[in-house]
Amino acid sequence: MPLVNVKVFEDRLDDDKFAAALATALTDAVVRICGEDSRANTWVVIEGVSRKQWSFGGIFKPLKKPE
């Protein structure tokens, strides 16, 4: 059973369409590699993380939500 765990900015999950599209795209990517039989057994977990908790390039730099 493939398990895909993705972390995104938590405010991105305010939009249900975003989460659904991401889950579909990730499942489709797994199916392209593992074959159609894997579709029914592919799990996608999308976790929201506060923008204040991200680090880029080894530098902790909280980000603000774009306006």
- Per-residue pLDDT of 11-57, as tens digits, reads 999 999 999 999 999 999 999 999 999 999 999 999 999 888 887 77
Q: Which domains does the chain show, CATH number per domain?
A: 3-60 (3.30.429.10)
Mean pLDDT of the region 52-67 = 74
Q: Would you say 25 and 17 are in contact if contact means Cβ atoms under 8 Å apart?
A: no
How high does pLDDT run on average in the chain? Answer: 90
Of 5, 10, 12, the closest CA to residue 53 belongs to 10
How far is the C-alpha of 10 from the C-alpha of 26, rounded, in Å? 18
